[in-house]
Amino acid sequence: MRIVVGEGSCGLAAGAGKVHAALTALGADVGITGCIGMCYLEPIVDLYDGGSLAARLVRVRDGDAARIAAAASSGDLAGVADLRISAEDEDFLAKQTRIALRHCGLIDPESLDAYRAADGYKAIANILGVGGAPGLTPEQVIEEIKVSGLAGRGGAGFPTWFKWNAARKASGDEKYLICNADEGDPGAFMDRAVIESDPHSLIEGMLIAAYAIGAAQAFVYVRAEYPLAIVRLQKAIKDAEAANLLGDNILGTGFSCRLRIKAGAGAFVCGEETALIESLEGSRGMPRLKPPFPAEKGYTGKPSNINNVETFANVAWIMLNGGAAFAAMGTETSKGTKVFALTGKIRRGGLVEVPMGLTLRDVIFGIGGGVRDGRKFKAVQMGGPSGGCIPESLLDTLIDYKALGATGAIMGSGGMVVMDDSTCMVNMARFFLDFTAKESCGKCVPCRIGTKRLHETLVRITEGKGREGDVELLEELCKGIKDGALCGLGQTAPNPVLTTIRYFRDEYDAHIREKRCPAHECAALRTYSIDAAKCKGCTACARKCPAKAISGVLRGPHAIDAAKCVKCGACAATCKFGAVTVG
């Protein structure tokens, strides 16, 4: 049997490198693959018998290497039975429809041969008329993308064909294609996983787009914080060039396209396409006024097209299987599949790809397994820091651009941060506004000043200093920022505030009027007391208290002096008898 270790960033962080090294030290022949999406089960080791998966082993440690090697050598899997994936966890993948992630976790991301064996580069060869294929004109390619209904997966959901067509029709012979891999949303890692696990699918998708718009130069603008993705993409580019699949006169057809990588410095605003172009040109990443749009005047003033990684990862599949096959999945207004990163208080966290039209409940509970630790679901943050918080009452909302927009949230790039009943929604809004205020480029006043005022007001409320009229002040600030901000960062930054006010107004009222945090998360509003009936007088809490605020005698009930208490929570964490209560 062949041994394959999952070595995406999640797997390596969990110890996959040590597992690989231990197996290699035993003389085993070990291959690698990328992230299959089940990040909560890493490290993952697959055993293949020929071309078939014989066993998937999860939460593997380097100490398991000897019995894995023995099982692979003998074919007897009894010795690794305790490591095999459960039927419940197998459902995590079984309930998905994978197109953008179709090769992730299944092929060697560092092997061009592995990608080509999975029909890789067949779509671009067909389009270029290689091997007797009839070939397609750029206009025919764009039409197929139009039929598919593919919308940009970077957040805005703008029709991909329309952007390609605008760049195609723009005047000028020099045009550029750009991939936005500046994935800055907290909790989102879809683009990273695709590049790390299937870099050639990105390259092929970009080649098709470059052919369609008439670009001979392409760029991948990727976060420098994604070192493994950059290394694997660099190797994929080098291998594709060596095979005449990239560069000049590709496959002898006369079509040329060169591709290079630009590592960004991690500014969230560079996810906005014009700010990205500014950074690509060597300037500070700040958005431009639109119009003109990049299709008219983009990189170095020339017509340019920008899509994100997930968008390009769908393209080769669409061209091989037909736009109608992609359009057959999803809803009337949102076609195909969408990748989501399930994070937060979720039992089964990782990457999920499902057809549009499923509900949030289908994904969070049907695939993700619901909230962990037996707690109650409270909300899901959709669309990153510029998204909105959707409550339990709206869990049956369809995954659809229009339906999600009606809730006050956005599809965004696909982050789903699940929150349980221990989460304070006011503090959650404060967290996201802290992020967007810091990431504002400062070019326009509504965003530069407005997000700071929003954040300051939220901080004041969570510290117990809220005043009557603060909610109305927040709403007024939000309206001004949305109406006046220059780019999408500012225009969507108020969403977490507006949705938490809309669905969790009672929590704002409790903070402001009662000086109380219902979730007990805001430290300044917590109170600690000791239940004398439960207290055993062990003195553990008193010994741990840094403020010496707890008094009492050995084997007698203790008490907390509220005036001295610094609300650090050490007493509650120390007590083994549940005597310390938090209010």
135 & 83 share domain: no
**Crossing angle (nearest 10°) for helices 199-213 and 309-321:** 80
Tell me if 519 is assigned to some domain.
Answer: no
At residue 266, the pLDDT reads: 82
Least Cα distance to 515 among 466, 454, 569 occurs for 466
431 & 412 share domain: no
Residue 552 gets which letter from DSSP? -
Tell me if 353 is assigned to some domain.
Answer: yes
Indicate which CATH number applies to the domain containing 288.
Answer: 3.40.50.11540
Please, where are the H alpha helices in 149-226? 160-169, 190-197, 199-213
Least Cα distance to 198 among 310, 290, 286, 123 occurs for 310
Q: Which structure tokens are listed for 299? A: 């990189």
Distance CA 138, CA 257 (A): 14
DSSP code per residue over 67-114: HHHHHHHH---GGGGGGBPPHHHHHHHHT---STTTTTTTS-TT-HHH
CA–chain centroid gap for 317, Å, is 22
- Between the CA atoms of 533, 537, 543 and 548, what dihedral angle is there, to the nearest 10 degrees? 60
One-letter identity of residue 32 = I
Indicate which CATH number applies to the domain containing 89.
Answer: 3.40.30.10
Residues 113-117: contacts with CB under 8 Å, at least 24 apart:
115/198, 115/200, 115/201
One-letter identity of residue 523 = A
Q: Please compute the mean of the pLDDT values over residues 42-71 and round it to a whole number.
A: 97
321 & 347 share domain: no
Distance CA 292, CA 196 (A): 34
Domain count, the chain: 5
φ, ψ dihedrals at 37, nearest 5°? 110, -15
Distance CA 23, CA 27 (A): 7
**Backbone torsion region of residue 188, taken as left when φ is above 0, otherwise alpha when ψ lies between -120 and 50, otherwise beta:** beta
Least Cα distance to 368 among 394, 377, 386 occurs for 377
Tell me if 521 is assigned to some domain.
Answer: no
358 & 464 share domain: no
pLDDT at 157 over 90: no
Place of tokens 């007024």: 476
High-pLDDT (> 70) share of the chain, %: 100
Indicate which CATH number applies to the domain containing 370.
Answer: 3.10.20.600
Tell me if 217 is assigned to some domain.
Answer: yes
Tell me if 509 is assigned to some domain.
Answer: yes
pLDDT at 138 over 90: yes
Give the tens place of pLDDT for each residue, 451-503. 999 999 999 999 999 999 999 999 999 999 999 999 999 999 999 999 999 99
160 & 247 share domain: yes
431 & 561 share domain: no
CA–chain centroid gap for 328, Å, is 25
123 & 220 share domain: yes
Q: Please compute the mean of the pLDDT values over residues 140-164 and round it to a whole number.
A: 94
307 & 450 share domain: no
At residue 31, the pLDDT reads: 98
Residue after which a domain boundary falls, among 326, 354, 383: 326
Range of the domain at 48: 2-94
Tell me if 128 is assigned to some domain.
Answer: yes
175 & 259 share domain: yes
Tell me if 438 is assigned to some domain.
Answer: yes
Confidence tier at 521 by pLDDT (50, 70, 90): very high
Give the tens place of pLDDT for each residue, 361-407. 999 999 999 999 999 999 999 988 888 999 999 999 999 999 999 99
CB 203 within 8 A of CB 246: yes
265 & 125 share domain: yes
Give the helix/strand (H/E) hosting 484: helix 470-484
Distance CA 455, CA 452 (A): 5
Distance CA 418, CA 415 (A): 10
215 & 159 share domain: yes
| SS3 (DSSP) at 405 | helix
Q: Please compute the mean of the pLDDT values over residues 417-430 and round it to a whole number.
A: 96
pLDDT at 156 over 80: no
Angle at the Cα of 313 (from 237 to 132), degrees rounded to 5? 75
Between 162 and 567, residue with greater pLDDT: 162
At residue 184, the pLDDT reads: 84
Residue after which a domain boundary falls, among 60, 94, 128: 94
Distance CA 142, CA 123 (A): 14
Confidence tier at 155 by pLDDT (50, 70, 90): confident
Tell me if 332 is assigned to some domain.
Answer: no
Residue after which a domain boundary falls, among 365, 394, 420: 420
